[in-house]
Every structure is written in structure tokens, then in C-alpha cells.
Amino acid sequence: MTSNKKIVFLTGTRADFGKIKPLIRILQKTKGFVPYIFVTGMHLEEKYGYTVIEIQKSGFKNIHTFSNTTSEHTMDLTLAKTIQGFSEYVGEIKPDMIVIHGDRVEPLAGAIVGSLNNILTAHIEGGEVSGTIDDLIRHSVSKLAHIHFVSNEEARKRLIQMGEIPESIFVIGSPDLDIMFSENLPDIEQVKHYYEIPFDRYAIAMFHPVTTEVDELPRYADNFVDALLASGFNYLVVYPNNDLGSNHILNAYKRLHGNNKFRILPSLRFEYFLTLLKNARFIIGNSSAGIREAPYYRIPAVNIGTRQNRRANGKSIIQTGYDTKSILSAIDKAKNLQVPENDVDFGKGNAAEAFLKILLSEDVWKIKKQKQFRDLNLMP
């Protein structure tokens, strides 16, 4: 490369920042790259822990904040506002590449801005399925993106099935595994002290709204809380994301306040979360952490409802419905489940190195910005 490449990373949640952090870090250490971070979404909401502070503490440079919150809190208006803010920022920075992650409206905004402004756009963890509206957004982002950094071979095949050019798809694994396998994770006593966690034996509860089931969310959330209370176990309860319907979950959590079996937290540092997960008896809810990270630590996961139903297929995962009785039954199983060696494939903890190697190649910068659709050779 003859000049420094400007790479803009877009982050809207604590979860996606945990995924892209290793990628930003390795570029910041490598001559020839200048990473920028566009911070928006949940990061700037006090209710969810104002996690932009954690980004600022990470030692990264070139951090820009933009609030995409709207008074109506609808996904379409959030998308529109993010497009406007990110477009103005990109116009100032003039990056060589935009890097986005996942399946929320913020990466969709990033993909729209990148593709319509003829900027090379890379999507992290495309080609996956979950079974909810997340799929619609994730696949839309993939169709707008020029480059795909995927977690496994199965995801690569799905993108090819969607008509993406094989030469634009690179299997690097899930970048958060780089942090999971790091030797620099804090120890459990340090984390318990930092978050004032009073118990040694606990489970982690993370329940997010499914936007296509928003009318049922008050009942789902009440059933979830009923099950947690009835189980008699200790729980670290982490706030949901800020998708439509999150207030129903937060309202249900009010019943847990003052109960010494529960420690309720708006957010967790990603490294601290990993230490807590590694030492948990099980994780319960519908977070992707139960599907992706937990199996690597051999931690059982109770997966409730539809949010991860296409991903929940490992031996460590107990699938259950939304009713209290089923959730309680799954909790009993999780308490005693002996998890075998990991049987899911989201990489081996070297995603950042693979990512850097690809960006150091001249070929990736020659990928055409004019998207092509590659037909499969189907039998008649």
C-alpha cells in the first residue's frame, strides 16, 4: 500500500463493539492504517450505561459520537437519522473502507451510506441466520456490502447462495473469540468487586425484545421474571438492547429490585462480561452470547423463544418456549447439565490476524464497488 488507508468502524451497541474491538486494535498498531470510530445508538444512552465511556477508555483515537435517538424510538426513524449523521461524517473523513457488524439498523445505515457513496464497505458476520427480523436486516446489509468477513464456512455458503461473489467472502471467525481466548481477561474477584456482585454461584440473565412479537412482550417478560423468581437461584440481570419493546422488559425487571438474589446492571464491559460468563453456572434468555460464546466456555445456555431459534443447535443449548413452566424446567436441566467440548464453529480466536492479512493484500482493495450477482449452477 502506498498511503495510509482510512478505515471507519461503526458501532451502535456494547455487543458489536466487543466484536470489532480486536480489529480496531490491530489496525491501530499496524503501519499503513488509520482507524476511525463512529459511535452512536445505545452507547450514548444514559439508561443503558452510557458505554461510550468504555470506548474512550480503550485507548483508541479518532472517536466521533452521534446521537441517533428519536422521540418516537422507531427503527425506521432511527435508521433515517443514522444515515444522515453517518453520511455527513463520511463526507468529512473520506474513508477508504467502512466496516460494519451484524444485524441492527446502525450497520444497515452504514451499508447504505457506503454503497451509495461508492465507498468499499465490509460486513462482519454476515451469512448467518437467527429466525427473526434480524435476518431481514443482516441479509440486506450483506447485499449492500462489497466485502464479507464471516464466522464460518456455513455462512460463506449462504452468502454464495444469495448471489455474492466468492472472491469477496473471507472466513475469519468471530472476532470476539480473540478476546475470549486472551490472557488479559480480568479475574473473577476483580470483576465481582467492580460490579459489587455479592454471590459466588450465579447465572446470567439477558432477555432482548423480538420486535415482530412486540404485542406479546409484556407477557413474555412477566413469564421470564416469574421463572427467575421461582427458581430460587442467584442472577446477574443485564438490561436488554434498546430495540422496540425494551421498556416492557425493563418494567418487568422492576419486580426484581430489592431482591438479594438479583444484581441488575445496565451494561457490562465486554472483557468483564466474558469473565462472568466463564464462571457462571448457566446463561438464560435469548442473547447470542448463549449460542456463540457460552459453548466455548462449556457453559449451559437456556435459549427462550424465537430470537436465536435458527442458531440454537449446540449440545450445551436448551431450547424452551416463553411459558413459565417450560423456562423453569429448562433452568433445572441447565443447573445439572455437563457440557461436552464445544460443538459450534465460530472460529478459533485469530480473527484479527486474518482480518489484517486480508487488508494488507492488494487484491481486497481491487474488489469492484459495482456489485455483481453470481448465479448458482442449478439443475433444471
| pLDDT tens, the chain, 380 aa long | 557 999 999 999 988 998 899 999 999 999 999 999 999 999 999 888 899 999 999 899 999 999 998 877 788 999 999 999 999 999 999 999 999 998 899 999 999 999 999 999 999 999 988 766 778 999 999 999 999 999 999 999 999 999 999 999 999 999 999 999 888 899 999 999 999 999 999 999 999 998 888 899 999 999 999 999 999 999 999 999 888 889 999 999 999 999 999 999 999 999 999 999 999 999 999 998 998 889 889 999 999 988 776 665 678 899 999 999 999 999 999 998 988 777 667 888 899 999 999 999 999 999 999 998 988 875 44
Beta-carbon contacts of 299 under 8 Å, excluding residues fewer than 6 positions away, are: 277, 278, 280, 281, 282, 283, 316, 339
Candidates 228, 195, 199, 220; CA nearest to 49 is 195
- State residue 376's pLDDT score: 81
- Three-state DSSP at 362 gives coil
- Could you tell me where the beta strands, DSSP code E, fall in 90-143? 97-101, 120-124
**Secondary structure element (H or E) that encloses residue 305, with its range:** none
Q: Are 14 and 45 in contact (CB under 8 A)?
A: no
What does the chain come to in residues? 380
Distance of CA 361 to the CA centre of its chain: 27
Q: Please, what is the Cα angle at 195 between 194 and 201, to 5 degrees?
A: 110
Q: What are phi and psi of 147, to 5 degrees?
A: -130, 145
Sign (positive or negative) of CA dihedral 27, 45, 127, 299: positive
Q: In whole angstroms, what is the distance from residue 21 CA to residue 5 CA?
A: 18
Q: Are 303 and 312 in contact (CB under 8 A)?
A: yes
Comparing 5-181+349-366 with 188-336, is the CATH topology the same? yes
Distance of CA 245 to the CA centre of its chain: 18
For residue 95 the three cell numbers come to 474513508
Q: Are 227 and 331 in contact (CB under 8 A)?
A: yes
Q: Are 125 and 19 in contact (CB under 8 A)?
A: yes
Residue with cell 474477584: 189
Domain borders along the chain are: 5-181+349-366, 188-336
Q: In whole angstroms, what is the distance from residue 281 CA to residue 202 CA?
A: 6
Dihedral (C-alpha) 288, 289, 294, 297: value to the nearest 10 degrees? 140
- State residue 379's pLDDT score: 46
On the 0-12 / 13-18 / 19+ scale of CB atoms within 10 A, 248 is: buried
User: What's 5-181+349-366's CATH class?
Assistant: alpha beta
Candidates 34, 35, 31; CA nearest to 20 is 35
**Secondary structure element (H or E) that encloses residue 43, with its range:** none
Q: In whole angstroms, what is the distance from residue 285 CA to residue 302 CA?
A: 6
Candidates 189, 201, 167; CA nearest to 282 is 201
Q: In whole angstroms, what is the distance from residue 250 CA to residue 375 CA?
A: 46
Q: What would be the CATH architecture of the domain defined by 188-336? A: 3-Layer(aba) Sandwich (3.40)
Q: What are phi and psi of 12, to 5 degrees?
A: -120, -10
Count H helices, E strands: the chain? 13, 13
For residue 121 the three cell numbers come to 464497505
Beta-carbon contacts of 63 under 8 Å, excluding residues fewer than 6 positions away, are: 37, 39, 52, 55, 56
CB atoms within 10 A of CB 257: 8
CA-based R_g, the chain, Å: 20
The one-character DSSP state at 186 is P
